[in-house]
Amino acid sequence: MIVCSGKSVFEGIAIGPIHVYKKEEQSVKRTKVTDLDAEVARYTAARETAIEQLQALHDKAVVEVGESGAEIFEAHQLMVEDGDYIDSVENIIRTQGVNAEYAVAQTGDNFALMFSEMDDEYFRGRAADIKDITERLITILSGGAGGGLDSDEPGIIVADDLAPSETVQMDKDKILAFVTVHGSANSHTSILAKTMSIPALVTCDISLEDTDGKLAVVDGYEGVIYIDPNPEILAQKKEALAKEQEKKELLLQLKGKENVTLDGQKINIYANIGNTKDLALVRKNDANGIGLFRSEFIYLGSDDYPTEDQQFAIYKQVAETMAGKKVIIRTLDIGADKQADYFELPHEENPAMGLRAIRICLTRPEIFKTQLRALLRASAYGKLAIMFPMIISVEEVKKIKEIVAEVEKELDAADIKYDHDIELGIMIETPAAVMIADELAEEVDFFSVGTNDLTQYTLAIDRQNQTLDSFYDSHHPAILKMLKMIVDAAHRHNAWAGICGELGADLTLTKEFLAMGFDELSVSPGRVLPIRKIVLETDVAEYKKSKGE
């Protein structure tokens, strides 16, 4: 038995034969050409073919993994059509008088190197995407068929690395797990694996030699793959797999049930989403509503400030699709690790504590009012609520309410319908907001705790700094005490309180959140049913008694 370790991307157990994914060797030769126009035309034709292939992959991915998982292929189409990339290829063809394959390969190497040397981890990850589209173009130009698998039998896919296009082209029914020697947890392939709910390991110390066809067990909980497992390990993992499958089947039976504890305490379980494409996952997982719609992605996906009508169309679609279920939309949360060039934000030494979120909105009221008009107009088509991020003072909330009142007055004057009783809430993300929670609760209808930033600011740890992972403790007693202070303050002033940060999806704390009295948890769609299961099995009074409360 051989045991290899890796970084787990998605938890789960998989048992089956190993299928080593073989990439076709891309051997590109540099050859001289005389008809440069014809060579450029050949490249243009290959580019059009690549776009057609990527569109087909997108359509296939939508069916298999949903719109969010398919977005990478839209991104790849944009990369193929990128002006700088095209200019580089055509320039190499014309200035060096070489074949299109060589020009594409050279451009791909240059662009991938440029991205890989960037400080930002996200952009470093895009180097793999550049390589993917480059290999696609070369394959088309050279008439190749690409790599593949030799077996049609379901199995564990093992590869040096996997591009998103390679992942999606595989038959999902034949994939038990992914294991790669390279790759990262933030790569698009990893994201696809999570969306497909397939166990996956990256940066695994596995050898691709002499492993094809061997029986293996992937344990995404432990982050290991057992090759030729001994009878004892095999029996243990088979039992674990059977229990896992049983849990999944039981969870499906929870769809349509109310989130009520054994002793009658109710809680809403909402979903966090980033765009309208995630709405299908919200409905599929039976969330009670949307607790966090990240409106900043509308801005991040645009080359200029989105107009009122553009935003209105999106908010209206969400409201109508949720058919009367509550939809909480967070106002613009640009800044820190989320930047849009056209905002022209100043360079800051510590952007996490700089000009971001509500601070931008209050210093640029024209942007804020545009979004508020769109939100209020959309409120006539469903049950919308508006949530404001990064609040640190009562004065900020009062200023926000003044601006909202101004917008409502403008809509009234224009005889435009909106929900006059729309709920207004704030995110509690700073220790300052916690300490004045009673005063803030008098001004709003609800609190939603952003535990990611609250933990960051409370522990004085940059959550983007991986070298501090060992110090980052989301279960720190200070955080848990703050959460209790927040919900108590809200209830004292007839406001409700929820959690929309990552901690809300922590199943080890669900009972604790029930005991604290939280009214709502908003989590990724896939966490809705697992949390519902805990809620239905919990007697809050007994749990408190067991803790001596």
- Alpha-carbon distance of 358 to 386, in angstroms, equals 13
227-236 burial by CB neighbour count: b if 16+ within 10 A, else e? bebeeeebeb
CA atoms within 13 A on the CB side of 304: 3
- Alpha-carbon distance of 522 to 527, in angstroms, equals 9
8 Å CB contact between 427 and 477 = no
Length of the chain: 549
Structure tokens at 435: 């300490």
Q: Which residues are catalytic?
A: 188, 500
Residue of 330, 309, 546 lying closest to 446 (CA atoms): 330
DSSP state of 117: T
Residue 214's CB is within 10 A of a number of other CB atoms, namely: 15
Strands laid side by side in the 175-180 sheet: 2-5, 224-227, 215-219, 13-20, 155-159, 175-180, 200-202, 7-10
Quote the Cα angle for 492-495-500, to 5°.
Answer: 120
- Alpha-carbon distance of 209 to 189, in angstroms, equals 23
Amino acid residing at 84:
D
337: helix, strand or coil: coil
> Strands 200-202 and 175-180: what pairing?
parallel
8 Å CB contact between 424 and 445 = yes
> Residue 507 to residues 55, 195, 528, 530, 539: CA-CA distances in angstroms?
38, 19, 11, 8, 16
In 307-382, which ranges are E strands? 326-330
Amino acid residing at 243:
K
